[in-house]
Amino acid sequence: MKKKNIANVLMVLVIALIAAASVVFVVNAKRGESAVPETDSSFVSETESDPGESATDRVEDKKKPAAKTVGTERLEEETDASSAVETEDETYLVTKTEEIVSPAPVSPASSGGGKAPETTGKADGGKSPGATTEAVTEKAAEPEKEEETVPVPTCTVSIRCDTAIENSDRLEAAKKPYLPKDGCILPAVTVEIEEGESVFEALKHVCDKYGIQLEFSWTPIYNSAYIEGIGYLYEFDCGDESGWIYKVNGVVPNYGCSEFKLRGGETVEWIYSCEGYGADVGAEW
């Protein structure tokens, strides 16, 4: 009988020990579950927050101290700035902040938080996306300015000796081979000049360019040039009053070729005269 009672007592003790171990295990398990950070639930609750909040505000809210409950106690702990972006979803959210346009502000009542969401527009330096788009559109629509080209002044120059051909009987035999039969030593050609250049300088340009013989004398005291011969045809070759004269726009000036300044657009003609120092080609003295 005593042995039976002892066995019953041992059985009760074993059952009591098993029950106590079970209770301890269950309590520890519950404490371990409550200590695990509720990352997924917090993320879901934040992503399903009021649509009036911007993505930037949601990220900034994650940086605030988070309150977690362990059993019946609330533990306050500050989260580091980097802990707000530990998960892949949160990291993606932060990197995409600059591409998300904040929605229009909503009233405090509709936001549910008592505070209207802030739309700072950090993605474009504090400017609203609409203003940036308008600035880009205006810049693209602005036509490119073409560089202004200043036209180069020009004039036309021609050289003729028709009167010398008509009076070829006065010429020396050695001169005749140099004269063109039609009397045109140089047809009217266009030459670029600088504004203020003289008729004499324009003549030098065309003679150098087309290989025409030119001989002149320069008088420093008067700062003037005198044309003695062009194309091997010289003054006095067709008489005592023969020589070269020039016209500008059909008029014979009454001063030297180095003193007549060109502006551009003029027609300059060099003509050989045989009578009256130019009277036979329209000079009026």
Please indicate, yes or no, if residue 149 is contained in any of the structural domains: no
pLDDT of 110 above 80:
no
Same domain, 173 and 252: yes
Other C-beta atoms within 10 Å of 10: how many? 10
Q: How distant, in Å, are the alpha carbons of 59, 78, 150, 200, 203 from that of 235?
A: 100, 110, 40, 17, 17
Same domain, 189 and 78: no
Average pLDDT over residues 119-129: 48
Give pLDDT, residue 137: 54
Q: Of 203, 279, 200, which Cα lies nearest the Cα of 242?
A: 279
Q: How many domains does the chain have?
A: 2
Give pLDDT, residue 151: 85
Please indicate, yes or no, if residue 112 is contained in any of the structural domains: no
Q: The tokens of 96 are what? A: 């995409």
Same domain, 100 and 158: no
Strand partners, 154: 192
Please indicate, yes or no, if residue 113 is contained in any of the structural domains: no
Select the highest-mean-pLDDT range: 14-18, 101-105, 143-147, 151-155. Answer: 151-155
pLDDT of 24 above 60:
yes
pLDDT of 141 above 80:
no
Please indicate, yes or no, if residue 273 is contained in any of the structural domains: yes
Same domain, 15 and 74: yes
Q: Which residue has the tokens 């042995």?
A: 3
Q: CATH code at 252?
A: 2.170.130.30
Please indicate, yes or no, if residue 146 is contained in any of the structural domains: no
Same domain, 97 and 172: no
Let me know the angle formed at the C-alpha of 159 by 205 and 231, rounded to the nearest 5 degrees: 80
| Better pLDDT: 54 or 17 | 17
Same domain, 172 and 275: yes
Same domain, 100 and 160: no
Q: Which residue has the tokens 């324009």?
A: 202
Whole-number average pLDDT of the chain: 73
Instruction: Give the 3-state secondary structure of 38-68.
Output: CHHHHHHHHHCCCCCCCHHHHHHHHCCCEEE
Please indicate, yes or no, if residue 69 is contained in any of the structural domains: yes
- pLDDT tens-digit series, residues 247-267: 999 999 988 999 999 999 999
Please indicate, yes or no, if residue 143 is contained in any of the structural domains: no
- pLDDT tens-digit series, residues 66-95: 444 444 444 445 445 444 444 444 444 444
Q: Of 123, 50, 43, 119, which Cα lies nearest the Cα of 85?
A: 43
Given the DSSP bridges, would you call strands 267-273 and 154-160 parallel, antiparallel or unpaired?
parallel
Same domain, 91 and 11: yes
| Better pLDDT: 133 or 8 | 8
pLDDT of 4 above 50:
yes
Q: Which domain holds residue 212?
A: 154-281
pTM: 0.50
Same domain, 162 and 270: yes
Q: What is the DSSP letter of 142?
A: S
